[in-house]
Amino acid sequence: MSLLTTDQIQDLAVIVLEECGSCLSDDELTDEIALLLEDVAGFETASEDVVCHVINQARSHYHDISKQHAES
């Protein structure tokens, strides 16, 4: 269902975390991920379902990574 691999989606989450920190609201996080996806070659033709799926996966990874950083 996704044009990106799991590793690529995790990389999106890491980029957002490194650039914006771990205190983004859900709307801010969605916006940041969407901005990054605009620069992914070939992704501009992805369906809305695929875009939502990738954003949701990246958000999940972002929250997981944020928790790991908070615990360490």
Q: Report the pLDDT value the prediction gives residue 20, as an integer from 0 to 100.
A: 94
Domain boundaries, the chain: 6-71
How far is 72 from 67, CA to CA, in rounded Å? 9
Mean pLDDT of the chain: 91
More confident residue, 15 or 43: 15
User: 47: helix, coil or strand?
Assistant: coil
**Is the per-residue pLDDT at 1 higher than 60?**
no
More confident residue, 18 or 2: 18
pTM: 0.89
